[in-house]
Structure 1
Amino acid sequence: MEITLNGYYTLILATLVLLLGRILVKKIKFLEDFNIPEPVAGGLVAAVVVYVLNIVWGYSFNFHQGLQTATMLMFFASIGLSADFSRLKAGGTPLLIFTIVVSVFIVLQDIVGVAMASVLGLDPLLGLVTGSIALTGGHGTAGAWGITLEQEYGVVGATTLGIAVATYGLVAGGIIGGPVARRLIQRLGLKPTVPNPNPSDIEKVAGAQSLYSTKHDEDSAHSNKEIFERPDSMRFITASSTIETLALFAAALAFADVMTLVAQDTWFELPTFVWALAGGVIIRNVLTTVFNFDMFDRSIDVFGNASLSLFLAMALLSLKLWQLTDLAGPVLIILLVQTVIMIIYVYFITFKVMGKDYDAAVLSAGHCGFGMGATPTAIANMQAVTDRYLPSPKAFLIVPMVGAFFVDIVNATVLQIFTKLPFM
């Protein structure tokens, strides 16, 4: 029996999934320790319930796709509207270098995914799902590209697989980040600090002066706390700022709608959500640079986080877990290889390129976080390291900028190139 739910009932179920996820994350320590998002925790339980209903009684559910698409586009528009290129000045050369290091890894991740999928007899496009779509991209990108791959390329189960891979990435990224950083710090000869660190310990770290450099660095790191994707933090917004923000989102989505039609069947044809992201970037930087418009970032964050939560809840409700049965073995092999590649890359590339000092070790822990999972995992990894050793304002300035939006722009570009390759 097939049951179709309209937008009202779909929204009600999505909010119930989010409330269930909140309860699970608060009650189950494992979920909290590994920063599993509330929509994922509740959504996976809902997906299992839907799976049981299908297997036992033959029920299947169709949820309102228009609402799911709208929240997805709003999430990607929020990334673009947060991408202020003037912030590049605050990060300086290290920010540019780290962005390049991360970009190279995204390409490597997709090469490994596609190659492994081909060797194991899977569709090469599924290799992208087990590559940067779900790992570097996280749940939001996995859901968005999953829908695109299913509708435009006929890849069955892409969304379901993407959500599953992204969940694995969150856990794996949280597990490997701390041990990798600890091993790198041991190479520097640095010991865990006591409440008042010994200056001789600090001197053992190459370039440790940067850790306590200037008040400007600390202020810069503090000013970027909003980028850390903390959906539960208090943000004061007003009715007027809400209306302004909705207008910005509407403009970005209108841009995406127009460009999707204009670019159809041309060489620069892109998924609609990529145009939403691009529209947000253009609107943000034109308004702030040309018109000196004061963007209300807190309001953008609220709408972006809410849209992502609702989208993930609806995407997980729509999962068809029975489509993963034949993929479980090969996908697990690919993910284990991707995890090993992540460890090797940060150990020999990220750490060395970023300066082979304590800041580089903390950055490596952060790279493990969003290279396999998401920015919150990266922040959690770095906090675990700095709580045990020394502060790193440099890392806490750079990683949120790169992980929160620059990596999504790079990832969208790389994925678009890969999907156009002749062997895909």
Structure 2
Amino acid sequence: MQITFDLLQTTAIGSAVVFLGIWLRRRVLLLERYCLPGPVVAGLLASLLFLLLRTAFGVQITWNLQMKDLFMNLFFTCVGFGASARLLRMGGARVLAGIAVSICGLVVLQNIVGIAIAVPMGMHPLNGMMCSSVATAGGVGTAAAFGPVFEGYGAPDSGVIGVAAGTFGMIFASLIGGPVARGIIRKQKLRPTDAALSEEERRQVSLSNSRLVGSWCLIFLIGGLGSYLSFALQKIPMIEMPYFIGCIFSGVIFRNLMEAAHLPFDLPEIESISDVSLDIFLALALMSIDLTRLLDSALVMVVILAAQIILIVLWAHFCHRFLFGGDYNGAVMVAGLIGTGLGAGSNAVANERAVMQQFGPSQVAWIVFPAWSVIVVDIFNPLFVSLTAPLLARWG
């Protein structure tokens, strides 16, 4: 039996998943206690339901996921718009350098671990890399972009392996990011240094309909112009850049140009757009996952991905102590690092938001980490992979 959902129907089901995530966070204390994002948990439950329908009753579902890509690009446009040079300096050179080292070091370590496991187990070294930073730090989009490239180098089924590995990473990025940060906060008795907004301050930043309309139009405009940056970046030889990179860069450019020209913009409304885009994107992405891709995965891929999880947990603890300052802000950034390192920038934001909802605000982690980490990983990771892939192809 075949069921096809059109654009509006697919987005409606995704919106229902978001409502389910909100309800679960309120009713299931375990989710809040362990800092698990509602849309992620609800999206996984939905994907399990659709898996049951597929395997037990032969129901095949076709989704129209164009809105998923739209909300993803809008979200990353908002992330880029958050990269104000003035605000990034708030973190200080040490924090910016620590985030950059944590991301670049993780990308290198992930590939060393993946290739070291893949080759002795008979997997092509490029597929070992695919199960490493390409699909984890890069996400499903980067994996899909590099799949044909790796297959052209002689790595069999690289695209399918990459999508499966990226799916696996997205799932566990949010399932372990919050709990690891929570464990650090509890064990070290860390407390936030930033004050939460009072009720009076919350009322002062209440949203305005006219400002919200203007902000939506601004983000659409910036994202649309960013698409041309994406097309230009894709022309760079030997480098694969996902589409949303242009949206990030466009957001960064416009934010800093507008600040330099003293042009007005409305941050509360833009943050609202970011939250809406993130929640609907996560719901659509996770509910539409074909879990049979994971069920059919080879043992070697599962072993590599399990090793990646162990690696990033150990690396996160190291980074918290030596690169992030060892304080509460650093613990929140640990949640973001695991989100970025296993999933994507969206997972990083979801993880940090879940941690701060339980323990309190962290301006440095919330403002600096998502924007800066996404910029670093989406520049360094494609460059590293593009430059090392030809060498590994000769080895394979």
Separation of aligned partners in 2, 1:98 and 1:160: 30
Letter in 2 for 1:277: I
Superposition deviation, residue 282 in structure 1:
0.9
- What is the deviation of 1:322? 0.8
- Tell me by how many angstroms 1:148 deviates: 4.2
Query: Cα gap change, 1:126/1:256 in structure 2, threshold over 3 Å: closer, same or farther?
Result: farther
Q: 1:69 to 1:180 in 2, by over 3 A?
A: closer
1:304-343 equivalences in 2 (<5 Å): 304-327=274-297, 329-343=299-313
Task: Give the conservation status (yes or no) of the 8 Å contact 1:177–1:364.
Answer: no
* Of 46-55 and 105-114, the range deviating more from structure 2: 105-114
- Look up the SS of the partner of 1:319 in the other structure: coil
1-structure distance, mates of 2:159, 2:204: 41
Residue 59 of structure 1 aligns with an amino acid whose one-letter code is V
The residue number in structure 1 matching 2:51 is 51
The residue aligned with 1:403 is 369
- Cα offset for 1:302? 1.0
**2:265 aligned counterpart, secondary structure:** coil
Report if aligned partners of 2:106, 2:312 keep a CA contact under 8 Å in 1.
no
Q: Deviations over 1:253-283 (max 9, x none)?
A: 2223323344444326622111111111111
CA contact (8 A) 1:82 1:300 kept: no
Question: Which one of the candidate residues 124, 138, 142 is aligned to 2:139?
Answer: 142
Question: Residues 415, 361 of structure 1: CA spacing in aligned structure 2 closer, same or farther, 3 A cutoff?
Answer: same
Amino acid at match of 2:80: G
Q: Distance in 2 between matches of 1:320 and 1:48?
A: 9
Matched with 1:189 is none
CA distance in 1, matches of 2:5, 2:186: 50
Which residues of 2 match residues 228-247 of structure 1 at below 5 A? 236-247=206-217
Match of 2:338 among 372, 375, 379: 372
Q: Distance in 2 between matches of 1:45 and 1:383?
A: 22
- How many angstroms apart in 1 are the aligned matches of 2:98 and 2:113? 22
CA contact (8 A) 2:104 2:377 kept: no
Mapping for residues 7-26 of structure 1, pairs under 5 Å: 7-26=7-26
- Contact in 2 for aligned 1:14/1:313 (Cα 8 Å): yes
Amino acid at match of 1:301: E
Residue 406 (structure 1) shift: 0.7
Tell me how far 1:61 sits from its aligned partner: 1.7
Cα shift readout 1:338-361 (whole Å, capped 9, x = no counterpart):
34434544555652456xxxx525
Aligned sequence identity (%): 20
Whether the 8 Å CA contact 2:111–2:128 is kept in 1: the answer is no
If the length of structure 1 is used for normalisation, what is the TM-score?
0.73
1:215 is matched with which residue? none
The aligned counterpart of 1:229 is none
The aligned residue for residue 345 of structure 2 is none
Structure 1 residue 375: Cα displacement: 4.5
Aligned match of 2:223: 253
Does the CA-based 8 Å contact 1:80-1:279 persist in structure 2? Answer: yes
1:301 correspondence with 2:276? no
In 2, Cα distance between equivalents of 1:144 and 1:83: 22
AA aligned opposite 1:398 = V
The residue number in structure 2 matching 1:155 is 159
Letter in 1 for 2:169: V
Structure 2: give runs of 5+ residues left out of the alignment. 151-157, 340-347
Q: CA deviation at 1:129?
A: 5.3
Bigger drift between 35-44 and 110-119 goes to: 110-119
- The yes-or-no answer on 1:27 pairing with 2:27 is yes
Relative to 1, partners in 2 of residues 1:271 and 1:102: Cα closer, same or farther, differing over 3 Å? same
State whether residues 81 and 280 of structure 1, in contact with CA within 8 Å, keep that contact through their aligned partners in structure 2: yes
Matches within 5 A, 1:221-232: 221=194
Change (3 A) 1:380 1:251: closer
Q: Is the 8 A contact 1:130 1:165 kept in 2?
A: no
Report the Cα distance in structure 2 between the residues aligned to 1:377 and 1:286, rounded to whole angstroms.
30
Is residue 131–residue 305 contact of structure 2 (8 Å, CA) maintained in 1? no
Superimposed CA distance per residue, residues 127-175 of structure 1 (whole angstroms, 9 cap, x where no aligned partner): 45554754xx5xxx73544554568876126445434323323333334
Which residue does the alignment assign to 2:255? 284
CA distance 1:159–1:46, shift in 2 (3 Å): farther
User: Match of 1:64?
Assistant: 64
2:272 and 2:356 map into 1 onto residues whose CA distance is: 24
Aligned pair in 2 of structure 1 residues 46, 148: CA closer, same or farther (>3 Å)? farther
Give, in angstroms, the shift of residue 62 of structure 1.
1.7
Q: What are the within-5 Å matches in structure 2 for residues 380-391 of structure 1?
A: none
Unaligned runs of 5+ residues in structure 1 are 186-191, 194-210, 213-217, 226-231, 388-392
Distance in 1 between residues matched to 2:186 and 2:37, nearest whole Å: 26
Query: Is residue 25–residue 32 contact of structure 2 (8 Å, CA) maintained in 1?
Result: yes
Alpha-carbon distance between aligned partners in 1 of 2:124 and 2:26, rounded to the nearest angstrom: 38
- Looking at structure 2, the residues matched to 333 and 113 of structure 1 have their Cα atoms a distance apart, in angstroms, of 11
